[in-house]
Structure 1
Amino acid sequence: MHDMEARHIIEALRSGVPSRAVGSYFTEARPKLTEKMDRALKLTSREGKSHGMIIKGRYGEGKTHLLNTVVSMAHAENMVVSMIPLSKETPLNRFHLVYQRLMQNTYLPRRNQPGFMDQVDSRLKDTEFANDLLFFVNTELQRNRIAYLLKAYINEERTEEKMKMQADFEGDFLSDAAVKKAYRENFKTPAKFTESFVKTKHTMDYFRFISYMFERMGYNGWVILFDEAELTGRLGKKQRMAAYENMAEFLINPVMSSVFTLFAFTDSYDDDVIEGKHDFDILEELYPDSPQPIQSILNMILKAPSLIPLSNKEIHDILEGIIELHGKAYDWQPQVSTDLLACRISGAGYLLRTRLRAAIEYLDQKYQYGDDNEVSSGKLDEEDIVSLDMIDES
């Protein structure tokens, strides 16, 4: 009988694509770093304060796997998780795009699919819950746009209009005129904004609201994970400084409720970007009178812990798990020792993901053919070549 969960993990490892399932199964590598993260998660969930950290590692050495492990740890703590890679389409200097992408990739505990607004709608039927949210947006946010939007959303009965407002909470922002129209249609009175909403400047109001809402929904916090943060280095100097400022919103005196944020960079970011592109000089040029908090962010990146290569014991433990999973996935008993498998993959390159893929390919071969034959290249002698003339003559 095939174990479908085991097969899913094996297929993910074979493809090299990071997987939450892989992260939840292989949680014991790099125990010191995972223990540090576990303490930070527990501190966030128990005290209600926000925390954050930065990690670095070489390409292919398990940064994304570590983030997926954090996903499992966070869900075990009853925390909501959002995880995205930064990219050209989602650069850190454009906060509104980051928010929208995070909303599209937000997972509630014990849920395999992203999304949370269905749970919000269910909870808003509770008058006490709705009033708590309304009190928060009226008293704690710098602008009152979300207060008008939330009140209209709670009162709205037309499905199409409600969906438009729901999309706003998820990052597809309505114009101020559309929010005012929705409020006026529901309450017959005009909405008076304290200031116009500028999505490139005011998106943090939404982060604050969502973090408080998750807390009031009974979750122990919100974990936000940013992978491939090194792509920030491809931005122009002003855009890069703006990205560091946005990082500071999460890591330096964060104003959100019970949020743990983690950024993953490559090891080379220090030399290639901070030193190579003279970020400290640019900071002094653009912010001569107020270098904080960007200076603190740059120092945090420089001092961030790096993922050291796995020890032989850790690699053997992972290989032992892969052998067991492969047997469950395809309903067989691999007669392969971890020492033999480690030897077989020793020449597969330095990238961890490449070596693990080689281990699975070896087990695939054993399962399909029952032998240890290896595909190799050799010299082809002239007499081995069959010509078309020889075929015709036959």
Structure 2
Amino acid sequence: MYDIEARHIIEALRSGIPSRAVGQYFSEARPKIMKEISGRLDMVCDSHRSSGMVICGKYGEGKTHLLNTVFNLAHSNNMVVSYLSLSKETPMDKLYLVYQKVIQNTYLPKRQQPGFMHELEKISANSPIANEMLLYAAKHLETDKLYYLFRSYLNTEDSDEKFLLQADMEGDFVANAPLKKIYRRIFGQPVKYNVNFTKTRHCGDYFSFMSRLFTQMGYHGWVILIDETELMGRLGKKARLNAYRNMARFLLPEFCPENTFSIFALSASYVEDVIEGKHEYENLSAVYPEEQEPARTVLDILSRAPQLLPLTRLEIQEVLYKIQDFHGKAYEWTPNVSLSSLVESTQAGGYLLRTKIRAAIEFLDQLYQYGKAGQTTVNELGEETFTEDVPSIEDFD
């Protein structure tokens, strides 16, 4: 019987599809940046110090793989992990859409599937954790909407109301009128907001509430991993500037929710193509002359983000040795090939790590099927573009 896990590893590497399992088994490369990230995670766990960072790299050089490695490392530290990719449907300039996607892709430690509402359902109305969260929602957030919402959630016995309130905490925000009606029905008291909640202005409250909730549940912190950050370059000018402002909530300690660590993965060409090519510093001065922070600081962070260097020859050899081992387990054979021959087979794969790996797997496939290998060729990859999408009507508000 072939090794199912090994087959999964090989097929994930062959396709180039990001895989947490690959991140778990191929975690030794790039020890310098992994040491820094490990230290940042320890700071969250031990000192409750929040922070964030940006990593950049060329296409196919392992940015997503690094995020998957951090995913596994965070889970081993008993930390909650959220993993998402920015897209047209999840743009960084609209934090409420980012929140919704973050919650949909939140994994509790050692869980293979996302979701945590089953843990929330275990909290009773008068438990210590409930009292702590209600006090926090009432006194420490920009608005007190979540106090009324969470108190209603804990005390309602109506399944439809429970579903509506739970959906709100997952990012499908309920309007103020239904929430006020539910609260009055349960407690016989009116809702009196200290500040009227709007999702475009106050979504940060939800990130803060959830980070406190995860801590109260006994987890050591919340790690937020955001891929495809370069897609911000396709937003309009004002939308990009607002996206930088929103990034500050994940990168700058004074804006971060408590006990969080965030990583943004960015294309290496973003600085040249967008920050310099579209004159972002000048745009910021023109659009927000009196309120350039924190967007300016975020632009500085993006401009000097550490770049993932190509793996050394020794690191590539270590990766290929593991691939050879997994390929043998996956297909129940013993690859009778020297490591030097396997390294030589990757030369046709170009300079990208991803295509080198595919070339090595194809080489092993041919040996397995035919007993010998032919010449492997890899076509050139297309170049990334950052043409702006047509702005939505909300961009003109």
Correspondence for 2:60: 60
Q: What residue in structure 2 maps to residue 381 of structure 1?
A: none
Q: Secondary structure at the match of 1:277?
A: coil
Deviation digits for residues 54-74 of structure 1 (CA, Å, limit 9, x no counterpart): 111001110000000000110
Cα shift readout 1:238-257 (whole Å, capped 9, x = no counterpart): 11110000011121212411
Which residue number in structure 1 is paired with residue 337 of structure 2?
A: 336
Contact 1:64/1:227, CA 8 A, preserved across alignment:
yes
TM-score (normalised: structure 1):
0.93
CA offsets 1:14-66 (integer angstroms, 9 cap, x no match): 11111111111100111101111010011111111211111110011100000
- Give 5+ residue unaligned stretches, structure 1: 377-394
User: What is the distance in 2 between the residues matched to 1:102 and 1:82?
Assistant: 6
Partner of 2:259: 258
Q: Deviations over 1:349-389 (max 9, x none)?
A: 2221111112112212222222224479xxxxxxxxxxxxx
Distance 2:99 2:182 in 1: 23
| 2:76 matches 1:76 | yes
Q: How does 1:28-107 map to 2 (within 5 A)?
A: 28-107=28-107
CA contact (8 A) 1:105 1:114 kept: yes
5+ unaligned residues in a row in structure 2: which ranges?
A: 378-397
Q: 1:206, 1:152 → 2: CA distance?
A: 16
Which residue of structure 1 aligns with residue 275 of structure 2? 274
**What's 1:385 paired with?**
none
Number of equivalences: 376
Give, in whole Å, the separation in 2 of the partners of 1:105 and 1:163: 19
> Does the 8 Å CA contact 1:61/1:352 hold for their aligned counterparts?
yes
Task: Within 5 Å, give how 1:188-227 maps onto structure 2.
Answer: 188-227=188-227
Render the CA deviation track for 1:210-239: whole Å, top value 9, x for unaligned.
Answer: 000000000000000111111111111111
Contact 2:51–2:256, Cα closer than 8 Å, also in 1:
no
Letter in 2 for 1:322: I
Q: Secondary structure at the match of 2:356?
A: helix
4+ residue runs over 4 A deviation = none
TM-score w.r.t. the length of structure 2 is 0.92
Partner letter of residue 297 of structure 1? V
| CA offset digits 1:129-187 (Å, max 9, x no partner) | 11111111111111111000000000011222211111110101111112112212211
1:123, 1:217 within 8 Å by CA — same for their partners in 2? no
Establish whether residue 305 from structure 1 lines up as the match of residue 275 from structure 2.
no
Q: Which amino acid aligns with 2:151?
A: K
How far apart are the structure 1 equivalents of 2:41 and 2:149? Answer: 32
Which amino acid is 1:138 matched to?
Answer: A
Distance 1:100 1:372 in 2: 48
Alignment of 1:10-29 (within 5 A): 10-29=10-29
Matches within 5 A, 1:311-330: 311-330=312-331
When Rg is computed on C-alpha atoms for both structures, the one with the higher figure is: 1
RMSD of aligned residue pairs (Cα, Å): 1.3
What percentage of aligned pairs have identical amino acids?
51
Contact 2:104–2:115, Cα closer than 8 Å, also in 1:
yes
Report the equivalent of 2:361. 360
Contact 2:142 2:195 survives alignment (8 Å): no
**Residue 129 in structure 1 maps to residue 129 in structure 2:** yes
